[in-house]
Amino acid sequence: MSTLVYRIQTLLEKILADVPVGTNLGLWHLFLTILSGRLLTSRGALFPALTDFGLDAPAVRRADAALCYGHFQIDTLVANWKNAVQEEGRFQPHQIEGVQPVACDMTGFFRPQMQAALGKHYQSQADKALPAVSLGLIGAVGSVGTMRLALPQAIVCQDPGDLSEKALKQRTIQQAKQCVGARQAGIFDSGFKPEELLESQIGDFVVRGATNFTARRNFLPPYKGAGRHAEYGEIVRPLARTYKDKEIEATPPDATARGKVGKRRIKALIFHDLVPSESKPGGRSLRCVVILDPKYKQPLVLVTTLLVTAYALWCLYLDRWPIEQIPLCAKQMLGAVRAFVFHSQSRVRLPALSLLAGSLLSYVAASSPAVATGFWDRCARPTCGRLRRVLSGLHFSDFAAPGGELRKKESPTAHLPKGVLGHRRHKGEIAHGEPTAKAA
């Protein structure tokens, strides 16, 4: 057994440490199947993927039963994974001017043909929201060797009572509120609004604003001597815009900053002491920093509560991108972008476990010597794709038999009904586990 395989098995044992006996063995087989990329070759079909990995029929059924009916929580697996990485001491959190970034994002596993009740997630290629299983993802950003990585702090699932994207966003913000501590800042993309983050009373944050972002001063303008006194501060428009063929000028910045990155000269427009456009003065103050980079056509508008330099703010937002690596690895590298599971539990658990497997694969690849694809790969980097190619050539028999509590649960079954009498489906249910309307 190679060192890479042994290390992956050791980390999986730590992740599944709190899972009950029997279920942990089924999840063990499922994790190894996902990590080997078998979902790519089976195009998302779970049973063919498990069989192709070398599992016999009873083991395939046990893995599916663990996914659908197993008693485990995703939060427990994520916490075990976080502790296992911190124990090794290879992950070094980033710190910019004394602030550690904690990236937050939402991702969707699209199921356009599924007939069951699903939420929706926006897809830029289609330019609209499509039926999907959406998940929130929160991770601390750092480095392992030469690679930037995001260590998951929480994977937020949808509320079964409200599958809307708005409800998931609120659950993600509330979870991020618990994950963002002192000397840390939550980094959000444009899908989150500054008003929502202020209402949640989260700690410090950096969020990308729209190009037509507007705010108000956090103080009242001086009284002009006539008319009623103002209740709102003056409007601040960081960027000029056009409305009905009329140009609306931008508000002059309170300060500017300039810097040089490589051969590019960066300019920043800074606005202090702001509140949301619909808020009265007296609330928590915001800052708006507009980054003008000649490399990009559109300026970068950042809204924050931090009192750091414009360059540090820019670096903090750029550190949000490692959180995108986890869904990329899970969907594209491991093949979880397509999934043919229909049970109400499995259709949510499989994407969540795939995200955890993608994080494990990226971490093991970054903390191990780079594996070249072939003789032509002379400057190999420790990426998850190269490691997945190595694991795709392995068979279940190449892995050592798990020991300890990772075992089959020996339970008496002679008294249980067998065959069609013992089928889990009942009258009034359809194939994917959703109850049908009964005739009157």
Same domain? 113 vs 219:
no
294 touches 264 (CB < 8 A): yes
Whole-number pLDDT of residue 432: 43
Q: Quote the number of domains for the chain.
A: 2
Whole-number pLDDT of residue 246: 87
Same domain? 231 vs 139:
no
Could you tell me if residue 146 is inside a domain? yes
Domain that holds residue 226: 212-298
Q: Round to whole Å and give the CA distance between 316 and 186.
A: 9
Could you tell me if residue 205 is inside a domain? no
Same domain? 114 vs 15:
yes
Could you tell me if residue 303 is inside a domain? no
Could you tell me if residue 429 is inside a domain? no
Could you tell me if residue 411 is inside a domain? no
Same domain? 231 vs 377:
no
The tens digit of pLDDT for each residue in 130-158 reads: 888 999 999 999 999 889 999 999 999 99
The tens digit of pLDDT for each residue in 261-312 reads: 888 999 999 999 999 999 999 989 999 999 999 999 999 999 999 999 999 9
Whole-number pLDDT of residue 425: 62
Same domain? 108 vs 56:
yes
Whole-number pLDDT of residue 439: 37
Whole-number pLDDT of residue 434: 47
Strand partners, 92: 143
Same domain? 221 vs 275:
yes
Whole-number pLDDT of residue 438: 41
Whole-number pLDDT of residue 3: 84
Low-confidence ranges of the chain (pLDDT < 70): 1, 404, 423-440
Whole-number pLDDT of residue 426: 57
Whole-number pLDDT of residue 122: 83
Could you tell me if residue 230 is inside a domain? yes
Could you tell me if residue 350 is inside a domain? yes
Whole-number pLDDT of residue 173: 96
Which among 282, 197, 287 has a CA at the least distance from the CA of 236?
287
Whole-number pLDDT of residue 431: 44
Same domain? 43 vs 177:
yes
Same domain? 392 vs 346:
yes
Same domain? 17 vs 148:
yes
**Rounded alpha-carbon distances, angstroms, from residue 78 to 15, 151, 264, 277, 367:** 8, 10, 40, 38, 19
Q: Round to whole Å and give the CA distance between 393 and 76.
A: 31
Same domain? 56 vs 160:
yes
Could you tell me if residue 408 is inside a domain? no
Same domain? 143 vs 46:
yes
Same domain? 259 vs 337:
no
Q: Round to whole Å and give the CA distance between 52 and 339.
A: 16
